Amino acid sequence: MKKYVIIALAVLGMASCSEKKFHVEGTITEAQDSVLYLENVGINEINAIDSVKLSADGQFSFSGEATEAPEFYRLRIADQIINVAIDSTETVTVKAAYPKMATEYEISGSENCQKIKELALKQMDLQRRAILISSDEHLTVDQSNDSILGLIKQYKNDVKKQYIFPAPNQSYAYFALFQTLGNMLLFNPRTDKEDIKVFAAVATSWDALYPNAERGANLHNIAIEGMKNVRINEANQAQTIDASKVQTTGLIDIALPDNKGKVRKLTELKGKVVLLDFHVFATNDSPARILLLRELYNKYHNQGFEIYQVSLDPDEHFWKQQTSALPWISVREEAGLNSSTIRIYNVQGVPEFFLIDRGNNLVGRSQTIKDIEEAIKNLL
């Protein structure tokens, strides 16, 4: 009996030692007797999770439980802040001297943290230049505002090209989305169509890599809300469509292999409300559109709604990668933009969609449907 107790205790000891931890350590000199905080930067609030009173040598060491998805923290003394991203069980080392630790620090052990440092310094430089412009007495208010808006536009374009679009799955891409100038978010996902695409690109990557992550779900919701706001605004501004020009026609069948090699016929979906979607995944607009389609599919699939998506991408392998996790029917037209299918359906540009009722009848297309969600609900 004692033998089994000893074995059990040994197993418990091994389990305790194998707990996944991350570590943030290093030195911050010139800060003797100052309190250094490690704070978790959450979605809605910032919470202190540990602290230490620094000695003359400035050494510190923090650790915490690793999370399934990347998480964000910051080291802080008073108003001096160093942002840190943690992915799993890595060890991040920081070396700095107070009171310039926020701008003159060294960080190692994480490429994400290196990139976040670059972004933080770029943001500070943007703020410095904006202050110089606003304090220039030779500029009118309009000239000052135009100059600052120009700086912001240039900054955003640079961040998109250099940090976000090349690696939307990285923590630094997420970090870049929420940079500010004063109290203003540089990327406005609520009403700006181009900024929504940026959020959607990161959200799509996080959905795929970290499907249960709260941060990914939050990005998803922000992007969807922004797309809805834009759609409502555009609908309000659009001219009323002449109802006499809307024609209801029978369905021309499509039979194409899906991403698993099975031929799928459009007419086999009779009895369901179907969104026939023509799409090219190799476009900047693709992530935002996929988010919107996923939202519709999740809400109405159980009521009899289906998506039949026709890809016109030339690269079959790329298409299969992009559609492997999609829940709806994904087929590919090998001839792409030269296919007879898009000529038959008179597709002038992509993305393009058609709505099909339960009786296999076309009831409208993008140009004739103001609110796709409302149209789907009416047919269901």
pLDDT of residue 125: 95
CA distance 269 to 307: 10
Percent of the chain with pLDDT over 70: 90
Kindly state the average pLDDT of the residues 159-167. 94
Burial readout 235-261 (b: 16 or more C-beta within 10 A, e: otherwise):
eeeeeeeeeeeeeeeebeebebebbee
Kindly state the average pLDDT of the residues 173-199. 90
How confident is the model over 327-368, as pLDDT tens digits?
999 999 988 887 878 877 878 788 899 999 999 888 888 888
Kindly state the average pLDDT of the residues 167-188. 92
Percent of the chain with pLDDT over 90: 59
Residue whose structure tokens are 């297309």: 365
236, pLDDT greater than 60: no
How confident is the model over 48-106, as pLDDT tens digits?
999 999 999 999 999 999 988 999 999 999 999 999 999 988 999 999 999 999 999 99
4, pLDDT greater than 50: no
Identify the DSSP state of 258: B
Q: Please give the backbone phi and psi of residue 178, each rounded to the nearest 5 degrees, phi first.
A: -110, 20
The 3-state DSSP class for residue 290 equals: helix
11, pLDDT greater than 50: no
